[in-house]
Structure 1
Amino acid sequence: MSADEVQPPVILRVQQPSDPVGAVTEDDAARRATAYPKIRIGAPLFGHALKAEGGLWQVYAVVSDTPQAARDDLAHHLMEQLDETTHPPLAAGLTTALGVLDREKVNEVVINGRMHRVVRVDTFARFGPDGPEPPRPTDRDPRDAEGNDSFLTPEIVIDPDGATGPSEAMLRVELTTAHYPRDQVPANVYTDSVAAVASHPVGVILPTRYAAAESVGGSWRPYSRAVATPQLARDEIAFGLRHIEPRLLRLTADQAVAYQQTADTLDSDPVDEVTVLGRHFRVTRIETLVRMGASGPEMPRPSDPDPDQPPGADGQR
């Protein structure tokens, strides 16, 4: 790396919370960092972002499991703009970008001078002696999950230079320098992960996600997708016990009743752990981080699985 390519030092602006809620949240975070000291990197999520005023980036809907799913989501977003606009130059730019996204796996499109980018977000879970970290008492947890399934509602403008609380500042340092362990992933995944730490040295914490996990043979396995609230993760477990497991397993009548009763419990009581017929499930807390480099947020890596093709590629449509 030449002198011109050396990244400037990362400076975090730390600000103590001045309100009682902020103070309690900070204390909660500190306690959990002690109780769940190990951090493990999970599978990435993907979304899209718009370069906004002042060089900041506006991030939308980071909910996709693959880069192509995020491209499709971006195309849908642009199509909505096209349907609403009455400005001919903007309509022309949107039409051109949509044509490219329909045929090619591109991660950036420029429309009337504004950059739209598919972005990659790392996910992490804290682990302690008893397994992955469950939701915190201070986490937002609406019982009515309707309308809370969007990852960023409303969309969020990320500001790497913005002030942050002590716990988030420590978390940013901890996560930004993390990469996949060499012995747990393919060589190209490890290489890309280490390279991203250097090429995108600034991390910005995005809203926390939640997922269901199951303890199997002494280890924890993902049981659901990542969702926006703890209640939605409970709903994922309940749906699985009520509808998925009976189809996968040859349950007796008594076993089916046990699964149904456990699902009913999750519907009526916001607990974070349930056990049914020896199977143990937990709602887990998922930290999310977008990595920032000189050109903006990190895009999908060459090693990221991206099996799907654009809808119009090779005459698919």
Structure 2
Amino acid sequence: MTDHHQAPPDHLVINVQHRDDPVSLVTEADALAASRTYGKIVVRGPLFGIAEQRRGERPRWRLLTDMDTGYPQDARDALNSYLWFKAKDETDDPRERRVLLDAVARLETEPLNELTVGDTRYRVVRADEFARTGQGRLEPPRATDADSEGWDFLPRTPSNTKGFVVDHAAAVGLTEGLDRMGLVPVSYTSDRFPPDVLADSRRALRTHPGLVLLPVVFRVMEHKEKSWSMASSQHPTPQDARRSLVYYLKTYLPMTGEVDEREAAVYARAADSFMRRVRSNELLVRGRRFEIARIERMMRIGPAGPEGPRRSDVDDQGPTKIHPTMDEWGNVDSNNG
């Protein structure tokens, strides 16, 4: 007989918890207002990173990277480096170092998406990046999004993704719970995707029916006639993205020779004007429209945890040796790179 009182598995549970503290109430109201204005989503495509699961932490996983690379092999290379430096700097035990270096050696020759080293499982994990749209624009930062101050790049704002715990059953507020339920059935549908990509996206709804939202990040986006293009990497706060836009206009464009001296001065004046505004999220210059966009990422979860790369994901790079050879005593062969 079926035990109807048995709790459902964690990857099928969305644990919504009422929160009545002032900050949560304002955040919920801000999210509700944004959903009315920016009611559609645009999925850009996959991002990859590395997650770890230590003994005793199951079923939770912890992200080791920022989930900001577009190719699985870049994530594998990040794991290669992570384990190499762990062997170099975090142990004096030759046996433990040997185990770590054996894992590095495998990653130098095998396109592994999962690897167990000692008591820890490592996995290449996948998330889809998307933005909300409405009224002809991408959703800008919300008033309740964490922000930073000033125009100096240093010190850097700490990552809000690295260290994030992927726990499908963790309690969330009402709005996030509703968001997750609404996103669960979302798959790729655009005819710009090849048939195998569309098929894998539909298949993931069955194999990984759960869904977790990662911390929000921000990008500089340039609005084209019928689309948007990325003009920056992802940033943990809107102000970090604004700084990136100023750098692009005042330093990057002249450095690359894309604009002459006269045009460079126009872009520099536009950047200076942008910096004098208070938390501005849009800039028009020379017929170009730049926006600071609020970017979200959804990670699908199955019975065994976060989804890994799909067969149809672009994965043309091969594994390679990244760091010099090291022995179990920590000696690095600088002539063998």
For normalisation by structure 2, the TM-score amounts to 0.85
Query: Please, which of 170, 180, 192 is the counterpart of residue 172 of structure 1?
Result: 180
Give the root-mean-square deviation of aligned CA atoms. 2.2
Counterpart of 1:227 in structure 2 is: 235
Q: Is residue 298 from structure 1 mapped to residue 307 from structure 2 by the alignment?
A: yes
- Runs of 4 or more off by more than 4 Å in structure 1? none
Rg: which structure is higher?
2
User: Which position in structure 1 is the counterpart of 2:265?
Assistant: 257
Amino acid at match of 1:68: Q
Distance 1:256 1:147, change over 3 A: closer
> How big is the shift at 1:97?
0.6
**Aligned equivalent of 2:33:** 31
Choose from 92, 95, 99 the match for 2:101: 95
Out of 265, 285, 294, the position equivalent to 1:276 is 285
Larger deviation, residues 24-33 vs 44-53: 44-53
User: Which residue is equivalent to 1:127?
Assistant: 133
Question: What does residue 17 of structure 1 align with?
Answer: 19
Structure 1 position 142, deviation (Å):
0.7
TM-score w.r.t. structure 1 length? Answer: 0.90
Equivalent residue of 2:159, what SS? coil
Equivalent residues in 2 for 1:96-245 (5 A)?
96-144=102-150, 146-148=155-157, 150-153=159-162, 155-245=163-253
Partner in structure 1 of residue 331 of structure 2: none
Give yes or no for contact 1:59–1:156 (8 Å, CA) kept in 2.
yes
Partner of residue 87, structure 2:
82
The superposition leaves residues 72-96 of structure 1 with CA deviations (integer Å, 9 ceiling, x where unpaired) of: 1112211222121123442222111
Report the CA distance shift for 1:268/1:109 in structure 2 as closer, same or farther (over 3 A). farther
SS at structure 2 position matched to 1:13: coil
Q: Match for 2:101: what amino acid?
A: T
More helix by share: 1
Q: Is the contact made by 2:148 and 2:240 (CA closer than 8 Å) also made in structure 1?
A: no
* Partner deviation per Cα, 1:201-234 (whole Å, 9 max, x = no partner): 1111111011111121143222222222212221
User: What is aligned with 2:327?
Assistant: none
Q: Which residue of 2 aligns with 1:4?
A: none
Identify unmatched segments of 5+ residues in structure 2: 1-7, 323-335
Q: Is the 8 A contact 1:41 1:179 kept in 2?
A: no
Greater Cα shift, 201-210 or 231-240: 231-240
Separation of aligned partners in 1, 2:302 and 2:143 = 34
1:60 maps to amino acid: L
Q: Give the CA deviation at 1:182.
A: 4.1
TM-superposed deviation, 1:312: 2.8
Checking the alignment, whether the CA contact within 8 Å between 2:241 and 2:292 is kept in structure 1 is yes
Point out the more displaced range, 179-188 or 238-247: 238-247
In structure 2, distance between residues paired with 1:180 and 1:251:
41
- Equivalent residue for 2:63, pick from 37, 55, 59: 59
User: Percent identity between the aligned chains?
Assistant: 35
For 2:241, what is the secondary structure of its paired residue?
Answer: helix
Tell me how far apart the structure 1 counterparts of residues 201 and 71 of structure 2 sit (CA, whole Å): 17
Contact 1:235–1:266 (CA under 8 A) maintained in structure 2: no
| C-alpha distance in structure 2 between counterparts of 1:171 and 1:33, whole Å | 9
Question: Cα 1:172–1:248, aligned 2, differ >3 Å: closer, same or farther?
Answer: farther
The CA distance in 1 between the partners of 2:157 and 2:76, in whole Å, is 22
- Between the aligned partners of 1:262 and 1:249, the Cα distance in structure 2 is 16
* Mean CA deviation greater in 71-80 or 241-250: 241-250
Q: For residues 89 and 198 of structure 1, what CA distance do their matches in structure 2 show?
A: 42
Gaps of 5+ in 1: 1-6
Name the CA shift for 1:182/1:22 in 2 (closer, same or farther; >3 Å): same
